[in-house]
Structure formats: C-alpha cells, structure tokens
Structure 1
Amino acid sequence: MKRNWLEDIRKQRGMTQQEVADKSGMTRPHYTMIEIGARDPSVSVAMKIAKTLGFRWTKFFEEKGNGSKQLVN
C-alpha cells in the first residue's frame, strides 16, 4: 500500500526523494520503495526518515492493522 502520507510530508517540506534518502543515510531506490509501500522500513530506518522529515517514527507502524481493530473485554 502506497504511503501517500509520507509523500505528502516530503512534498510539504519541499524535498525530493533523493534529498530525503541522502539525509537519512540510504539510497534513493531504497527510500522510494518505502514511500511506495513496496518495503517496510526497519525501526532504525523509520527513525532516520522521521527525523529528516519531522514526524513521529511510529507512524510507519500505526498504519498496519488500523482497519481491523477488535475490542477486547
């Protein structure tokens, strides 16, 4: 699933995929695969991207399972 929210944040910051990748210490293809949802970032990579773009790194892991929450008594 494409991470539209990540692309939106990157564009709001006026950054290219290459700039985010460089500042986060990864290759542009690796970053692009994360942004389009073809790869999930590790915790350390999520933290680097989040620091570069200025958001909570946990956002990467909140998106999974949100549609299937179950109530537990």
Structure 2
Amino acid sequence: MRNWLAKARKQKMLTHQKVADLAGVKRQYYGMIENGERTPSVGTAKKIAGILEVEWTLFFDEKGNKTLRKTNTA
C-alpha cells in the first residue's frame, strides 16, 4: 500500500474520485494505484503527483510500493 499517497490525498481533502477526475483516470484505477496494486505510467504519475504536490518518482521507488513479486515468482 502506498500510505504516503493516501496521506497526501487526505491532506488535500480529496476523494479517490476527485483525484481520478483531475488526473483523467478511472476511480477504480486510481484506487489500485493507491493500494499498490498497479503502477501508473510516467505521465499518470506526474499528473497525480502534480495534483497532490508530491514527487512523481515515488511511484517507482521500491520502498513506496507494495509488490507482488513473491506471488509472481512462485
């Protein structure tokens, strides 16, 4: 889970839907990004980061992402 992302969104008092609308993605997809189930494209990461005023590279930082490697490599 990307706790830093949820925290940034809540600090801005935005819903999943509002961030998704502003970023031009579906709410479900944004939820997956925030939960660490999906990694956004660079463009989408930059849009979300701009909305929430965070560094866009955090989306690609191992420490900032929940990975599914254990289940994928089994």
Could you say which structure has the larger radius of gyration?
Answer: 1
CA shift at 1:50, angstroms? Answer: 0.3
Residue 56 of structure 1 and its aligned partner are, at CA, apart by 1.2
Output the CA distance in 1 between the equivalents of 2:38 and 2:58. Answer: 15
The residue identity in structure 1 corresponding to 2:30 is Y
- Where in structure 2 are the equivalents of 1:1-73 lying within 5 Å? 2-62=1-61, 64=62
Which one has a larger percent helix, Structure 1 or Structure 2?
2
Task: Give 1:57's aligned amino acid.
Answer: W
Q: Which residue identity lines up with residue 17 of structure 1 in the other structure? A: H
| Paired letter, 2:7 | D
Rounded Cα–Cα distance in structure 2 between residues aligned with 1:54 and 1:25: 17
Using CA pairs under 8 Å that are at least 6 residues apart, name the structure with larger relative contact order, 1 or 2. Answer: 2
List alignment gaps of at least 5 residues for structure 2.
Answer: 65-74
Deviation of the 1:55 alpha carbon:
1.2
Distance 1:55 1:29, change over 3 A: same
State the percentage of identical aligned residues. 50
Once superposed, which parts of structure 1, at least 4 consecutive aligned residues long, lie more than 2 Å away?
none
CA distance in 2, matches of 1:7, 1:65: 15
Question: How far did 1:65 drift?
Answer: 6.1
